[in-house]
């Protein structure tokens, strides 16, 4: 059983703290510069909290769940003793952790976290990495206590996984945003698209590959519908550009199957 | 209670036939050129089937659920008597139905249908249109028998709704396909992305607007991560182009909130 301190109080820190607090690991402290948020999260997880570097508790594992930009600054400001110190970033190399940290690690949960949404952490893949066998083994022990899908991957691999995540999460969500903008012009609410969004995701998840369930005018190379769509996007050159770009790629890629 | 004939045997025809067969409407026949598929679907729905124009049954409503390209040809080849005749296409105008049809209509279910996937039709919005009050009222009666969300929209509005659907369905699925391609380069399976795909869709559906739940390097304008991603896409100019294009638009749009 490892003792764990979570550094941070945002949505990733919150989700990890709750999951670790409910696991067989021992969550000892929430450390965050924002005293109020640290206190609130610690209360939820029944553990200690701290906001000053001198108050940081001793632990086997420190998980720094702060924004990518803040990782180095926060890590440099704290004394972790001999603990294993992990960040939770998809695109930050393990080597970016300050040199003074001997046992460097990564603990990257592949999911989108937001305040107010409960995610079942057992389903969330956790990608781990460590600068030593000891660091890897500590990450594995904590990760397996909260998730059923734990994988050791290098920083280079993780960066590619994170890039994939940008497409399936951030860019997919942007497609929903464009859909909302366009349906508003038909004087219809975004709600109308919700069953379609849900079924599209469910179908891809049920498929062995999303390529096999691609539908629409692009994959059929249906010129007539595509030209009608481009006409409707005539006053939106940016969206028309995205439409043509994606339609061409769907058609090009479909031929390679 | 209206009597209904479904023309077609593809996935839209199948989903509508099953839903109408289970409703308070009277499904009298499946008509399709493919005799075997018509027979199989009719058996599933406990109704008659036919494959020759002369065998087309009399009915109050005919729903032509065939590919966009085939609508005019199929509609021209059949004698519908005084029935209301609807197509199920998102981007085809009601006026494209042959002139000989007096009671023209549209019955467009806003969903993606595929063989082997059961969709709860009560949740599926059905967009209706009719060339007369009688046609509209017939469409409304049949649509309300199978769905809780029935709306009368013009052909021009429906075309815009269909364009929105291309973004949230076809293009979102293409984002999943790109994700699969990129994660394969990290020697990881598409399965790893599935919890993220599911949660991204669920979060957008729970939100009042997907714009409000946009996350990622683009909306943060995180130069460092974006430039790392572009570097990784260096040998894939097409995907790099899509990445830059979408990232720029996300940033531009986010500033307008």
**Do A169 and B245 count as a contact with CB atoms less than 8 A apart?**
no
For residues B215 and B206, what is the distance between their CA atoms, to the nearest angstrom? 15
pLDDT in tens, A190-206: 999 999 999 999 999 99
| Phi and psi torsions of A120, nearest 5° | -80, 105
pLDDT in tens, A13-28: 999 999 999 999 999 9
Residues of A in contact with B12 (CB under 8 A): none
pLDDT in tens, A160-177: 999 999 999 999 999 999
Task: Return the residue of A nearest to B211 by Cα.
Answer: A177
Rounded to 5°, angle at Cα A177 from A175 and A178 = 65
pLDDT for the residue numbered B254: 83
A256 or B238, which is more confident: B238
* Per-position b or e across A59-77, b if 16+ CB within 10 A of its CB: bbbbbbbbebeebeebbee
Which of A112, A193, A252 has its CB closest to that of B200? A112
> Looking at the complex, does the CB of residue B167 fall below 8 Å from at least one CB of chain A?
yes
Task: Return the residue of A nearest to B119 by Cα.
Answer: A199
pLDDT in tens, B161-199: 999 999 999 999 999 999 999 999 999 999 999 999 999
pLDDT for the residue numbered A257: 53
Cβ(B177)–Cβ(A253) below 8 Å: yes
Q: Is the pLDDT of residue A78 over 80?
A: yes
For the residues B55-66, what does the mean pLDDT come to? Answer: 98
> Looking at the complex, does the CB of residue A122 fall below 8 Å from at least one CB of chain B?
no
Q: Is the pLDDT of residue A255 over 80?
A: no
pLDDT for the residue numbered B77: 97
For the residues A108-125, what does the mean pLDDT come to? Answer: 94
Which of B110, B200, B216 has its CB closest to that of A192? B110
pLDDT for the residue numbered A115: 85
Give the C-alpha distances (Å, rounded to integers) separating B197 from A198, A244, B191. 10, 24, 10
| Phi and psi torsions of A247, nearest 5° | -60, -45
Which of B158, B171, B185 has its CB closest to that of A246? B171
For the residues A224-243, what does the mean pLDDT come to? Answer: 95
pLDDT in tens, B31-44: 999 999 999 999 99
| Phi and psi torsions of A10, nearest 5° | -80, -165
How many CB atoms sit inside 10 A of residue A168's CB? 29
Which of A160, A186, A204 has its CB closest to that of B185? A160
From the CA of A147, how many Å to the nearest CA of chain B?
12
Q: B257 falls in which pLDDT band (50, 70, 90)?
A: low
SS3 B106: strand
Mutation target among B106, B117, B164, B232 for the A interface, most CBs of A within 10 A:
B164
Which of A91, A169, A249 has its CB closest to that of B200? A169
Cβ(A7)–Cβ(A54) below 8 Å: no
Q: Which residues lie below 8 Å from residue A162, measured CB to CB, with a gap of 6+? A: A90, A91, A108
pLDDT for the residue numbered A256: 62
Give the C-alpha distances (Å, rounded to integers) separating B234 from A1, A204, B242. 44, 27, 12
Task: Return the residue of B nearest to A204 by Cα.
Answer: B173
- Output the average pLDDT for chain B: 96
Residue pairs between chains A and B whose CB atoms are closer than 8 Å: 295
ipTM comes to 0.96
């Amino acid at each position: 059983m490892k003792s764990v301190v979570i550094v941070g109080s945002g949505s990733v820190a919150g989700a990890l703290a709750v999951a670790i607090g409910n696991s067989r690991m021992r969550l000892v402290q929430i450390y965050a510069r924002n005293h109020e948020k640290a206190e609130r999260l610690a209360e939820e997880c029944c553990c200690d909290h701290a906001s000053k570097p001198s108050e940081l508790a001793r632990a086997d594992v420190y998980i720094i769940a702060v924004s990518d930009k803040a990782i180095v600054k926060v890590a440099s400001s704290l004394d972790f003793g001999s603990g294993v110190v992990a960040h939770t970033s998809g695109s930050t190399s393990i080597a970016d952790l300050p040199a003074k940290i001997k046992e460097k690690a990564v603990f990257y949960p592949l999911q989108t976290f937001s305040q107010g949404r409960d995610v079942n952490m057992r389903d969330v893949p956790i990608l781990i990495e460590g600068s030593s066998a000891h660091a890897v083994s500590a990450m594995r022990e904590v990760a397996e206590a909260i998730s059923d899908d734990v994988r050791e991957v290098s920083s280079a691999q993780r960066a590619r996984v994170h890039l994939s995540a940008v497409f399936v999460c951030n860019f997919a969500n942007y497609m929903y945003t464009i859909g909302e903008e366009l349906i508003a012009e038909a004087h219809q609410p975004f709600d109308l698209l919700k069953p379609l969004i849900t079924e599209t995701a469910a179908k891809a998840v049920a498929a062995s590959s999303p390529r096999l369930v691609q539908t629409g005018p692009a994959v059929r190379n249906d010129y007539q519908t595509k030209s009608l769509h481009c006409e409707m996007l005539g006053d939106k050159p940016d969206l028309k550009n995205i439409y043509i770009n994606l339609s061409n790629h769907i058609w090009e890629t479909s031929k390679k199957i």
